[in-house]
Chain A
């Protein structure tokens, strides 16, 4: 088979340069930045704090409340500020992706607010947001069983690639572009986010997941390092 060339010269399994920083928003109880190449996500955690209105409280656990959105100038065509159906859906699936890592039973009737914003979008924004939020939750000292690591696997025609960027998302040849964001608890067999758009054969899915596993191992190391840095500097 011909070796597939990605537009920016990366190898199929190569992610864009990853950067992560913890403790970027002094007001927040926990905060972090995560970026895949030009995609930059920041996240802040506030809480656990008393949840109002009272009828939304859970007497057995804290409630995780996630808000994901693009800042208006993070995309080519200005995004109208305020929630869209897309951002509401991503907020929800992000909350589902993070919850299995958390132990919220210690904080009944409270809410843990996770605010995720994209400063600059070059695809893979929801997974960058999940990686940032996972670090911010740890930074806030919320009891966690594990970190959550996320990456978008792509399929361009028949070739699987790791960490899709915007150019790749717009790929139109052959079987065109497939975007397959995946999140998991680090170093585990627990997948907490699976979404997909495009064209992928059922027997290719496990190959995509194996690629995500490898990428998530690297992401986990970067997340741990960023968390250690902030602890050591204090």
Chain B
């Protein structure tokens, strides 16, 4: 229902180029754009990061709150992921109640983080059965040049790795004035990342620019980690758009995902503090 669709000329051109293994910016079909990561987007956040993936830019902030545990998980802290597609980031985003894409983005990040168990929620209990920490991750695109979700995945894990649990005062309230040195407990060796394959014609590509993304007819998002440093493990998946995928395409992704993950993790590690 986008009001700014890619022209069919561009789409036809891209079908032909992808079939020949080419892209406008010279990348290979399964090549991610270079990315950079900065920290401390806001010193009021308990953790934050800014990712620039090509011209796509996403900021993620983590806030920690004291709350009651959920009745069905009294022995765990809580995790919430939210965010919005602010009209700041693209002429295509509108204000008002969240549309589907704005609902989907934080839900995909949520599933990847939650299912990988990268945050050790069991260590976030303040008083058993009564008070726990709630980790709130907020995802905001600043500039949308395609593939917001994978950029959001990178920014989220970077922000979590630099999140500190605030100190509590004697009354049990958060003391925002004193500096905490207590890091958010993460599962050693597990780094979940998001990779989304986009389909146009018979080709699969990753990390599309906005123009490529709008021309594509199908997509599928995967959350994958090096589970506890042991092996590649998928944690989440969601196919999007109306074009079906074939068994061969799914198998192709399963063969290529581990290398994509390893290469991206290597680049990510350069930015980790």
Contact = CB atoms under 8 A, between A and B. Distances in A.
Contacts of A49: none
B133 to A, nearest CB: 22
B247 interface: yes
A173 interface: no
A96 B240 contact: yes
Contacts of B185: none
A194 B220 contact: yes
B261 to A, nearest CB: 9
Which size bracket describes the interface of A in this complex? 20 to 34
A102 to B, nearest CB: 10
B250 interface: yes
A195 B242 contact: no
A192 to B, nearest CB: 5
A166 to B, nearest CB: 13
Interface stretch (B4-12, B44-52, B85-93, B228-236): B228-236
Interface size class of B (residues with CB under 8 A): 20 to 34
B233 A96 contact: no
B202 to A, nearest CB: 13
A202 B103 contact: no
A230 interface: no
Contacts of B258: 202
Interface stretch (A18-26, A40-48, A106-114, A183-191): A183-191
A96 B104 CA distance: 14
Contact of B239 (A89, A96, A185, A205): A96
Contacts of A93: 238-240
A198 interface: yes
Interface of A: 56, 85, 88-89, 92-93, 96, 99-100, 180, 184-185, 189-203, 205-206, 209
Interface of B: 1, 100, 103-104, 107, 111, 115, 220, 224, 227, 231-248, 250-251, 254-255, 257-258
9 contacts: A88-B100, A92-B104, A189-B246, A194-B239, A197-B115, A202-B254, A205-B234, A205-B254, A209-B250
